[in-house]
Structure 1
Amino acid sequence: MRSTDPAEVGERIAARLSATRGHPVTLRKARVLPAGASRTTYAVTIGDDRGDRGDEAIIVRAAPAAEPGAGGLRSEVDVLRAALEAGVPVPEVLDLSDSSDEDSVLGFPYAVMRFVDGESIARRILRDDAYGLIRADFARQAGTALGRIHAMESSSTGLEHTGDPIEALHTLFGREYADAPAGLVLAVDWLDRHRPAAAPTDTVVHGDFRLGNLLITPDRISAVLDWELAHLGDPMEDLGWLCTKAWRFGVPRPVAGMGSRADLLDAYAQVAGWRPTEDTLRWWELYATVRWGLICGAQANRYLDGTERSMELAAIGRRSAEQEFDALLALGITTPTPIPDPLDTDRPAGTVDEDPHTAPALLDLLESLSGFLSDEVAADGGISPQVRFRTRVAGNVLSTVRRQVLLGPRQAEASRRRLADIGVHSSTELADKLRSGALSGADEAVRAVVAAEVVDRLTVANPRHLSQPDC
């Protein structure tokens, strides 16, 4: 019988470990961690009552929505074991059930891993004084870890090759690739025309090597997590993903906001035996920007299609504008554009027609809700980290709505005028004509329109992003 209740999950895992270890294991506590969309992660503490052994912290990675045998956890565990053998810092796997046998004590696929200490929240790693030492050494340690990942023995992992990188975008994100906005269309065209030389050999690729999927202590990378996107391919994909602007979180240093490309590549070369060029790394950074933009669209489509009614998935769709802007920065089509948040300026009179409604006006009502979320809900010290995180997401969604109410009519009229000047009638038609070649991405007038459209979208979605430089 399936149960996702943390206490029930903990009890069943404790009973399972009692059987495999041959002595009683007792559940102390269990909770759900705020991580993952397709997987649920439980932090469980168990007790071993034999003598002075004390409590043991473990992690249960589970796929509650998957049928036995369909969770993908067995392949992920195979990769983890190969990574451990290669000297990559990863959690030790204690138990696994990804099949329909009697070991499926939860009724769905799961893996039990030994807890590894470390922080994964980027804003703490990048800003707290406690992590000053690792920030100075992160690029070197990341290069070493990636070198070891790419030296892994792949034959035991069962991983598949993704093929040509640009074709892989089309294959993995067919709908989003076909509907990509103009900024990403320009980036894909540039990537296709400026392909770098391939790496000396294809390797295991982690697929999501970034802050958030690493555990960090004050002096080291203690674990590489979340191997569910691992595959075979060009190892430069991992280095580019780590360095892409999205994972710097506003800090102007290229390696996850903490180091230089040269330090990363030097450390990587010591393990891998070859040193990629910085030009090749920058190509893969732009590739990662496009990939993340398509992922934003794919996650939003899960919400729009009714697959998963999640506010977080709905919200992330608007983040595609950040990736468009970053792609245009990398291509030299635009520059950092500091724009004050429209919500911080005085609202012009008559922005929204309020008739026949009475005061407060629509924007005043939205502002009051925003204040409630930030000043009351998020400030409540008694709420869980999960609720606090979702409250921040809700606040960001509400701010986007308020900006669009404030600016939408004027932006729509400005968009119609500039699109008409280059002979198109919508942003969708602009992207389609760039994709087909009916409009040239080298035309300065076209590039200016693409940039202006992206700036307007980002002014509504996240105006602070407009001032962040590339580096």
Structure 2
Amino acid sequence: MGVPEADGVAATIASRLAGRRGTSLSVESARLLPAGASRATYAAALVEGSGPAEPIIIRAVPAATDDGGLRAEAQVLRAAADAGVPVPEILDAGFDDEGNVLGFPYLAMTFIDGESIPRRILRNDVHAAARARFVAQCGEILARIHRIDVSQTPGLGELGDPIAGLRELFPREFDAMPAGLVLATRWLADNPPEPSPRQCLVHGDFRLGNLLMDAEGIVAVLDWELVHLGDPIEDLGWLCAKAWRFGGSTPVAGMGGRDELLDAYAREAGWRPTEQALRWWELYATVKWGLICAVQAARHLDGVERSVELAAIGRRSAEQEFDALLDLGLVTPAAVPDPLTEATGAGAGAGAGAGANEDLYGSPSSVELLEALAEFLWSDAVQADLSPQVRFHTRVAGNVVDVVRRQILVGAAHAEASAQRLSALGIADHRALGEALRSGALDGTDEEVRDAVVADVRARLLVANPKYFAVPHP
């Protein structure tokens, strides 16, 4: 079944709501929003008589053989609203044949105006007051989420042992986990935190980007698709993960400190998690996001969703490896030169990794051709005439070109040095390194082993994103 046209979906929902309200509603506008592969999301504006437009959002699963998770989402949204969590109001829902006016599962909700793009929230003056309130609001909202009556949300999955949960969620990626994340996973398993007073409903993706904000603060918590039962500190750790700070110098989404978050949570929840437990879940979040990076890249590589953005995310796991090493105290933030800025002088454009074939093919070298392509993708002439979505993907493409350029320049030297390190450890390749660390055949606390892991992670990050070495990590 294809994705139904927006006008028809909106008109059907308008008729449904009009019948319930005893009035007439017309559709002023309707459009299909970018969404995932399994769901369709529509934005529509409904008008009653000569009144103002009423914007709504319709989430649907046209091709689902069941309710596509929307029934559980509706239960959670209603329970969250009852607990005082700011969420969109459900206007209508259809899951079964009876009363389902669209013929497939759907949720119609109020549209809440606000900003969700992290970099705008962190930088724009209009959100200055919201930034000042952000950490305290998050602590309060999370405490309310965690006291939701789970009897209102039957059937939710439960995260038992967190490490086993990662293997269950991401089996292929867990088995191929890079060495930096393996070290972190072993440390997490060996140093579990004290359990929280009780298991509760956990949002699962509470972070900047899923929080809608206006000039005064958070107006809605969005994207409840990963909700489950588990330890409440999982949500706090996910919020504080470095991936969601977007370059900020403070741990809570770049807008505040851990103590402020824990104090705000305690005021609403009646108990205060320890910073030790919070930091454990932060490291867990780093490992989890590193695995999700691999999952996203696999969607592209497996042909599920061919996307330059998904392909690029695969290399971002190097950032998570480096963050894990920071948490383990094995590295410190420090600026390093970008190989692209150091590749100057006669003949430097070919690079050590370009190989002898450069002489055969002549000038420009492969690196110089990629440099020209990157300059084109980043140029104002290209960027100025693109839609925001295409402009974003063009910038991603420019970053991908730069990654390839760096790998050509330094890849051969990195590969040779890494092979020597692995050989000294009696290891054949990087997958074998991860397996040896996971099984205990290699001691992750051994200095020589750790030095080899750190060197490899540094090599991966230097190619993927050398600016990341200097990002603060409080």
Q: What is the TM-score when the length of structure 1 is the normalising length?
A: 0.94
Using the TM superposition, name which of 283-292 and 385-394 deviates more. Answer: 385-394
- Pairing 1:145-224 to 2, within 5 Å after superposition: 145-158=141-154, 159-224=156-221
TM-superposed deviation, 1:323: 0.7
Using the TM superposition, name which of 309-318 and 166-175 deviates more. Answer: 309-318
TM-superposed deviation, 1:217: 1.2
TM-superposed deviation, 1:247: 0.5
TM-superposed deviation, 1:234: 0.5
1:334 matched to which residue of 2?
Answer: 331
1:84 matched to which residue of 2?
Answer: 81
TM-superposed deviation, 1:20: 4.1
One-letter identity of the residue aligned with 1:57: P
Q: Distance in 2 between matches of 1:12 and 1:363?
A: 55
After superposition, the Cα gap between the structure-2 partners of 1:401 and 1:115, relative to the gap in structure 1 and judged at 3 Å, is same
Which of 391, 395, 400 is 2:398 aligned to? Answer: 395
Q: Distance in 1 between matches of 2:242 and 2:82?
A: 32
After superposition, the Cα gap between the structure-2 partners of 1:456 and 1:438, relative to the gap in structure 1 and judged at 3 Å, is same
**Kept after mapping to 1: 8 A contact 2:350/2:366:** no
Using the TM superposition, name which of 84-93 and 154-163 deviates more. Answer: 154-163
TM-superposed deviation, 1:31: 3.3
After superposition, the Cα gap between the structure-2 partners of 1:385 and 1:236, relative to the gap in structure 1 and judged at 3 Å, is same
- Pairing 1:370-381 to 2, within 5 Å after superposition: 370-376=374-380, 379-381=383-385
One-letter identity of the residue aligned with 2:384: D
Q: Distance in 2 between matches of 1:453 and 1:72?
A: 41
Q: Distance in 2 between matches of 1:206 and 1:193?
A: 26
**Kept after mapping to 2: 8 A contact 1:120/1:214:** yes
CA deviations on 1:3-37 (whole Å, 9 max, x unpaired) are 34444443444344344444332222233445556
Work out whether 1:55 is the aligned partner of 2:57: no
TM-superposed deviation, 1:409: 1.6
CA deviations on 1:123-144 (whole Å, 9 max, x unpaired) are 0111111111121221100000
CA deviations on 1:372-421 (whole Å, 9 max, x unpaired) are 2222576225x333222222222222221222222222221121122222
TM-superposed deviation, 1:314: 1.8
TM-superposed deviation, 1:100: 4.5
Question: What is the number of residues matched between the two proteins?
Answer: 466
1:318 matched to which residue of 2?
Answer: 315
**Kept after mapping to 2: 8 A contact 1:2/1:108:** no
1:31 matched to which residue of 2?
Answer: 31
Work out whether 1:305 is the aligned partner of 2:308: no
Work out whether 1:404 is the aligned partner of 2:407: yes
- Pairing 1:370-449 to 2, within 5 Å after superposition: 370-376=374-380, 379-381=383-385, 383-449=386-452
Amino-acid identity (%): 56
One-letter identity of the residue aligned with 2:339: P
Q: Distance in 1 between matches of 2:147 and 2:91?
A: 24
1:293 matched to which residue of 2?
Answer: 290
**Kept after mapping to 1: 8 A contact 2:57/2:109:** yes
Q: Which runs of 5+ in 1 are unaligned?
A: none
Q: Distance in 1 between matches of 2:326 and 2:9?
A: 47
TM-superposed deviation, 1:358: 4.4
After superposition, the Cα gap between the structure-2 partners of 1:421 and 1:337, relative to the gap in structure 1 and judged at 3 Å, is farther
TM-superposed deviation, 1:155: 0.8
Q: Distance in 1 between matches of 2:453 and 2:157?
A: 37
Secondary structure at the residue paired with 2:340? Answer: helix
**Kept after mapping to 1: 8 A contact 2:349/2:365:** no
One-letter identity of the residue aligned with 1:56: E
Q: Distance in 1 between matches of 2:25 and 2:466?
A: 52
One-letter identity of the residue aligned with 2:290: G
Aligned-pair Cα RMSD in Å: 2.0
**Kept after mapping to 1: 8 A contact 2:40/2:59:** yes
Which of 118, 128, 134 is 1:132 aligned to? Answer: 128
TM-superposed deviation, 1:335: 1.4
TM-superposed deviation, 1:212: 0.7
Using the TM superposition, name which of 408-417 and 321-330 deviates more. Answer: 408-417
1:111 matched to which residue of 2?
Answer: 107
**Kept after mapping to 2: 8 A contact 1:73/1:111:** yes
1:232 matched to which residue of 2?
Answer: 229
Using the TM superposition, name which of 401-410 and 451-460 deviates more. Answer: 401-410
**Kept after mapping to 2: 8 A contact 1:34/1:386:** no
Q: What is the TM-score when the length of structure 2 is the normalising length?
A: 0.93
Using the TM superposition, name which of 406-415 and 268-277 deviates more. Answer: 406-415
**Kept after mapping to 1: 8 A contact 2:3/2:40:** no
After superposition, the Cα gap between the structure-2 partners of 1:108 and 1:320, relative to the gap in structure 1 and judged at 3 Å, is farther
CA deviations on 1:222-257 (whole Å, 9 max, x unpaired) are 000000000011100000000011100111101010
One-letter identity of the residue aligned with 1:86: A
1:260 matched to which residue of 2?
Answer: 257
**Kept after mapping to 2: 8 A contact 1:377/1:388:** no
Secondary structure at the residue paired with 1:59? Answer: strand
Secondary structure at the residue paired with 2:329? Answer: coil
TM-superposed deviation, 1:111: 1.6
**Kept after mapping to 2: 8 A contact 1:47/1:56:** yes
After superposition, the Cα gap between the structure-2 partners of 1:260 and 1:295, relative to the gap in structure 1 and judged at 3 Å, is same
